[in-house]
Structure formats: C-alpha cells, structure tokens
Amino acid sequence: MYHHSGTAPGAVLKHISDRRDGSIGRVTGEAGLIDYAAEKCDLTEFPHTLLREETLRRLFLGRNRMETLPDNINRLISLEELYVYANRLEQLPESLCELTRLRILDLSHQGLTRLPSNIGALKQLEILYCSNARLTHLPESLWSLNNLIYLNLTDNLLDHLPEDIGNLASLRELRLYNNRFHKLPDDLCDLSNLRELHLKGNQLAALPDQLGNLESLEVLDLRSNRIGRIPDSIGNLRQLIHLDLRANRFTSLPDSIATLPNLRKLDLRWTRFRDEPAWLKNLEERGCAIYR
C-alpha cells in the first residue's frame, strides 16, 4: 500500500515521456505545472499527497490496483490529463466532474459499471477512453460534451445509443465495437466532422438511410454484424478510404460504392453475393484493394 508524507515523491524527469513502469517520476514545467507518473507501481490506493499539488497538470496512474478515487479529487484544479486505466475501479466520485480543465480522461480496462451522471460538466474534455469495462448505459449529460473529438466505448455491454449523440458536433473518431447495439439513431449521421466510425462486433441489422451525410468519414468498419442492406447514400461518402463490410448478411451492394473517389480498401470477406458486381473489377483497376 502506498504511504507517504509531505510532497509526493518521485524521480525528476526531463520529460514525462521518459517515465518507466514500476517507478515514480515527476516533471516540473513552466509556471510550476507538474506532470506525475506512477504506472504499474502496485498502488492499492490513490496517493493522497498528490491532492496538495494544485499545479498538477498530468497524472499517470494506470495499471495499478486502486479500487476508488478520493472524493476530494476536485482539489486538483489544474489537472488537464488523467490516466487511471487498468485499475480496479467500478465507480467514480461525482467530484471528478469538477475538474473543469480536464481535456483527456482514460478510464479503460477495468470493471467500471457507470460514468458520473454529471460528466457533461467537463466542458473542455476532448478525449474520453472508457473501453473494456462493464457499462450498460450512459449518462444523458455525456452528449453535451461539445469539445469531444475522440470517444472510445468499445468492449462494453451497451445496447442503446440516444438521438442526442448527434450533439457531439466536434467528434472525429467514434469507437463502439464489441457492444450489443441493434440499431443506430438517425442523428448519428449529423456528425459532419466524423472521420472514423468503428462498429464491428455488434448486432446491427440495418444502417440509417442518412449514412451519406457523414461527409468527412474516412474509415467505416461494420464487420461482424447482421446488416442485410447497405444504403445507396453510402456513395456520398466522398472522403471514404477504408470500408470494412465483412461477415454481414447482405447479398448485394449499391452501385454507388463504385463512385467513391478515394476508396483504397474494401473488405467483403465472409459475405455471400447473389451476383458479384461487375464494377468491383473497375475499383481494383483504379488501385482499390478488394478482399473477398
């Protein structure tokens, strides 16, 4: 168990990227801002001496054995990045959402069963990792994070996405694979800045007809679902580079895929066509790699 009095210890590092597993390190930068790392250090509780560090900016506590975060974690008023992945957290204190400067939050790879109800108070949050957990639902306030650009909720137990997901106007990458989604809300297609959409390993039977509204999309991964039809509007995804459709249930493809000017990879393995489209050969001649 971690015990210490006075200032939080740690070897002085030139840069936080010099940190090493199993050792504690700290960096003091401009304006006295502190970066602190104690990853894979066998910690069973949060280092409470850190709560005195009001200039703490980045905190790396991943791959330990912590079961809780302190209720007074809101004392870390300068914190911008918090990495507590691969611990033993199941719930989080609501006070976590008073860290209003937080831009990156990594909660992944542990038995987390819920997110704080007021997570929407983290108005500066840009990156949220919460993969490989046990989430069954998401708080309504999550969809008010207008600055969020990356959201990873893969490998959870989620089966419903609300229409409010369309409010995440800044989102560029959305990872939802290996959940239990049966359908997608139409408002998902309002995410005009989205560049990557990862949905493999769900139970999707259909896609929104408005799919083509995702005009910035470059990567679309739909493998291992139950999709019976690809909407014609997919031909409007003019920026699409990588399209993964393997292991689904459709037996034909819309001809509009042939018009995608930037498509470089099309994966059709483990699908069954009534008749393979003639335009696949044209795509290959143009330089698109097709797997079938």
Question: Each residue of 141-150: pLDDT tens digit?
Answer: 999 999 999 9
Place 89 in a pLDDT band, splitting at 50, 70 and 90.
Answer: very high
Tens-digit pLDDT profile for residues 201-249 = 999 999 999 999 999 999 999 999 999 999 999 999 999 999 999 999 9
pTM: 0.94
Match domain 182-292 to its CATH number in 3.40.50.11240, 3.20.20.450, 3.80.10.10, 3.40.50.1370. Answer: 3.80.10.10
Place 11 in a pLDDT band, splitting at 50, 70 and 90.
Answer: confident
Res 6: pLDDT: 37
pLDDT at 7 over 60: no
Q: Over the chain, what is the mean pLDDT?
A: 95
The strand pairing partners of 34, in sequence order, are: 28, 56
Tens-digit pLDDT profile for residues 270-288 = 998 888 999 999 999 999 9
Place 14 in a pLDDT band, splitting at 50, 70 and 90.
Answer: confident
Q: Are 288 and 263 in contact (CB under 8 A)?
A: yes
Q: Cite the residue boundaries of each domain of the chain with CATH code 3.80.10.10.
A: 1-158, 182-292
How far is it, in rounded angstroms, from Cα 162 to Cα 138?
Answer: 9
Which tokens belong to 61? 């506590």
Place 17 in a pLDDT band, splitting at 50, 70 and 90.
Answer: confident
Residue 104: phi and psi, rounded to 5, are -130, 130
- CATH 3.40.50.300 for domain 1-158, yes or no, is no
pLDDT at 5 over 70: no
Place 9 in a pLDDT band, splitting at 50, 70 and 90.
Answer: low
pLDDT at 3 over 80: no
